[in-house]
Structure 1
Amino acid sequence: MTESDELAARNKQLESQIAELKSREEVLRKLAAAVEHSPISVMITDVSGRIEYVNLKFCEVTGYSLTEVIGHNPRILKGDALPEQFYREMWTTILSGREWHGEFHNRNKDGSYVWELASISPIMDPSGVITHFVGVKEDISELKRLQKELGQMAHSDRLTGLPNRALFFDRLEQALIHARRKRSRFALLFLDLDGFKAINDTHGHQAGDELLQAVAHRLTFCVRESDTVARMGGDEFIIILGDINHWEEPGLVARKVLEAFSSPFHIGEITCTVGVSIGISVFPDDAEDANKLISKADFAMYEAKRSGKNNFRYSSMEYRRR
């Protein structure tokens, strides 16, 4: 091969290498642009957690500029909903060279909070040593809000906002477990409105619905925050009174409810009065399972109705005689 041919070959090889470098550079530019303008947040930190890069979406979500976060630790975003153990387990995972997936509860620059679905991956050099971490995060705050609303709808009465039957039975089961473990008592108060049907028939369902909402509001003020007021359906309500220390306590609450109902309800332009009949059963004196406790409180409520309405009755004859 002549010197000219050798020079031509070297030039060709050099041109090929330059073309390859330009091609790689173009790919890197595309990747950089894709990351910078990605619809999800991207953060790169060094192995100690200091931020080296964030993309535009990160700045948009958090309210922080690039210069405000470079060199800082991501803990500047830390919210208060997750325990320290959560973060320790995350660091244990990524420092071992494994990917981590989970949800962050972060605080933005303006003080607002955001839930983010995140993945963090370690970046290693050719020898396998971790040099950086890259995290990608997607805002799922709206999804969390919708999940919470759906959960509330599944366990709340749509009209009154009180616990519905499903949540009541769950709370009742918890009350049974607690009382058996602590060898304590709790009571059920089964309530049925007196005179509701007449108001509903005379003034319409809208007025009836608003009356039920007002009734629910008054009932919640008659019990402790730890107690449960639930709507069973129609104009029937039930109360779980937890940890009662004396047989008179359910009766005192029943009298408080009767007193609350002695004042008229103002529904729009309508002023009306309704009474309430209340039946009381006590665990474990009257029964030791949920269905029997409800049945006995229900039967006692009908006895209160038959005795003249707007009154209360204990299921236990022993309690009635005291």
Structure 2
Amino acid sequence: MDNPLKILIVDDNVVNLMLLDRLLRNEGAEIFKAVNGEESVELCEKHDFALILLDVQMPGMDGYDTAKAIRRISSCKLIPIIFLTAIYKDPAYARMGYDVGAVDFLTQPIDPPTLRSKVGVFLQLKRQKDLLEREIAQRIKTEKALRIAEEKYRNIFVRAVEGIFRSTVDGKFVEVNPALARILGFDSPEDVLNSGCGCDMFISSGDRFNYIETLKRDKYLNDYEIKVIRKDGTLIWISESSRLFEEDGEFYVEGVIEDVTQRKLCELDLQEKATLDALTGVPNRYLFFDRLEKSIANARRYKERLALLFIDLDHFKSVNDQFGHHAGDILLLNVANRLKSRLRSSDTLARLGGDEFCVLLERPSSRDDVKKVAEEFVESLTDDFNIDGMICNVGASVGISLFPEDGVIAEDLVQKADSAMYKVKEGSFKRFCFFSDEGSYNKL
């Protein structure tokens, strides 16, 4: 019976050791545990481990020192080490880890499916490595054994689900596998190599420049997501993990590419749903305040002006009461469409809730310009609305605040525009008015 594969888990936290042991006990490997760097080095001198899971932050010998000590053991130079850390996102710590021989990082708290997936890959590689070593030993490392080993590795390259490549630094592919050809929309690896595809897959020269500069600076990329162009012109999202290395005096890039288009589109869709009003499709309160704060920062830096228009429908409740909430929803959608049609692309319309809308005007040249926009809004909402054959009229009240005259904080500008709007509601003004710091309200 073959000797079981062995995994070493190193963590000064006994609870973490027990949890990791429980997660990996069904992976077909014998689990060894150590609570510090010294104990792990002693175990490495006695056992042939397929994989080491090593905590970075430990008293005494930390993870980096422990990895260095393990690498000094001649039989342990090639053992894969996965660091367990809560600080991996810091590029400096990532470089330190790769410099001492880490092959990957897992961020705590550990995601069990990710842990099992990564461990499974390295165990399989260990099984293949052990098998190859036995075959080579049986054939006394003959030329035939070398050819068999090369062919097996070639099969892994060819059959891999992920795209695998090697390219020059200037973007010319010199080796690609069938999976990468499929990802980029080609029939075969030969078609990719003959097409000269490389730099052309980047959407812009800026994307290509940032990609190369990151590689030159860090020497590697990990889960680098970017949108690229396929052969047929369609756009997809890929995630690339690669490294920059030198061979025979020439620099090359080699790595693995995965098509993550579906996941990325889901993420973007979720992000859009989180920041857009579900009924009208315009920005919601969260996105509006985010844009308002950024606009205030830019306006302060470049000494520009902003105008905020708070819009409240006048008879919305009566529409809900008379025609029902469905009609009210249709009315709000039509209101949003009428307002959007009168905005510049640089301005922002948002629904803050209920029948309240806010408009941010960027760089208005004068109060008269703001007045004109307010008049257009009121007039557009004065016209009748036809909702499934039912005619209704709502109208609107508009309060206006200006940056920097009325405030330099987002909440203040919204509150003052809202206060001015209520003056219109009370009948002090017929349609709209400005807020003033002196406590009075001026009709435009």
What TM-score, normalized to structure 2?
A: 0.61
Greater displacement, 166-175 / 231-240? 166-175
Structure 2 Cα separation of the partners of residues 234 and 172 of structure 1: 20
**Structure 1 residues 81 and 164, CA gap change in structure 2 (3 angstroms):** farther
Q: Equivalent residue for 1:66? A: 189
What whole-Å deviation, never above 9, does each CA across 1:127-172 have from its counterpart, x for those lacking one?
x755754321001122221222222222211111111111121222
Matched, 1:100 2:224: no
For the 8 Å contact 1:47–1:130, the answer to whether it is kept is: no
**Structure 1 residues 47 and 22, CA gap change in structure 2 (3 angstroms):** farther
1:216-255 → structure 2 map (5 Å cutoff): 216-255=336-375
- Runs of at least 5 residues in structure 2 that lack an aligned partner in the other structure: 1-136
Q: Equivalent residue for 1:36? A: 158
Code of the residue aligned with 1:256 in structure 2: it is E
> Number of paired residues?
303
Q: Equivalent residue for 2:311? A: 191
1:120 alignment partner, one of 209, 223, 242:
242
1:286 deviates by 2.8
For the 8 Å contact 1:277–1:309, the answer to whether it is kept is: no
Matched, 1:274 2:397: no
Code of the residue aligned with 2:419 in structure 1: it is F
1:86 deviates by 1.4
Code of the residue aligned with 2:288 in structure 1: it is F
1:282-321 → structure 2 map (5 Å cutoff): 282-307=402-427, 311-316=431-436, 320=442
Structure 2 Cα separation of the partners of residues 211 and 293 of structure 1: 27
1:320 deviates by 2.4
Code of the residue aligned with 1:148 in structure 2: it is L
For the 8 Å contact 1:54–1:66, the answer to whether it is kept is: yes
1:70 deviates by 2.2
Q: Equivalent residue for 2:174? A: 52
What whole-Å deviation, never above 9, does each CA across 1:281-322 have from its counterpart, x for those lacking one?
222333333333222211221111121886112223777277
Structure 1 Cα separation of the partners of residues 216 and 397 of structure 2: 60
1:280 deviates by 1.4
Q: Equivalent residue for 1:160? A: 280
Q: Say which SS state the counterpart of residue 261 (structure 1) adopts.
A: helix
**Structure 1 residues 81 and 245, CA gap change in structure 2 (3 angstroms):** same
Structure 2 Cα separation of the partners of residues 232 and 58 of structure 1: 46
2:199 alignment partner, one of 75, 83, 92:
75
1:27 deviates by 3.5
- Runs of at least 5 residues in structure 1 that lack an aligned partner in the other structure: 1-14
Q: Equivalent residue for 2:290? A: 170
For the 8 Å contact 2:240–2:257, the answer to whether it is kept is: yes
For the 8 Å contact 1:80–1:105, the answer to whether it is kept is: no
1:130-141 → structure 2 map (5 Å cutoff): 133-141=253-261
- Structure showing greater Rg: 1
Code of the residue aligned with 1:174 in structure 2: it is K
For the 8 Å contact 2:433–2:441, the answer to whether it is kept is: no
1:221 deviates by 1.7
Structure 1 Cα separation of the partners of residues 344 and 170 of structure 2: 49
Code of the residue aligned with 2:210 in structure 1: it is F
Structure 1 Cα separation of the partners of residues 168 and 361 of structure 2: 56
Structure 1 Cα separation of the partners of residues 289 and 283 of structure 2: 10
What whole-Å deviation, never above 9, does each CA across 1:239-273 have from its counterpart, x for those lacking one?
11222222222221111011111322222232222
For the 8 Å contact 2:384–2:391, the answer to whether it is kept is: yes
Higher relative contact order (CA 8 A, sep 6+): 1
1:110 alignment partner, one of 199, 207, 232:
232
Percent of aligned positions that are identical: 34
Code of the residue aligned with 1:238 in structure 2: it is C
What TM-score, normalized to structure 1?
A: 0.82
Q: CA RMSD in A?
A: 2.9
Q: Equivalent residue for 2:212? A: 88
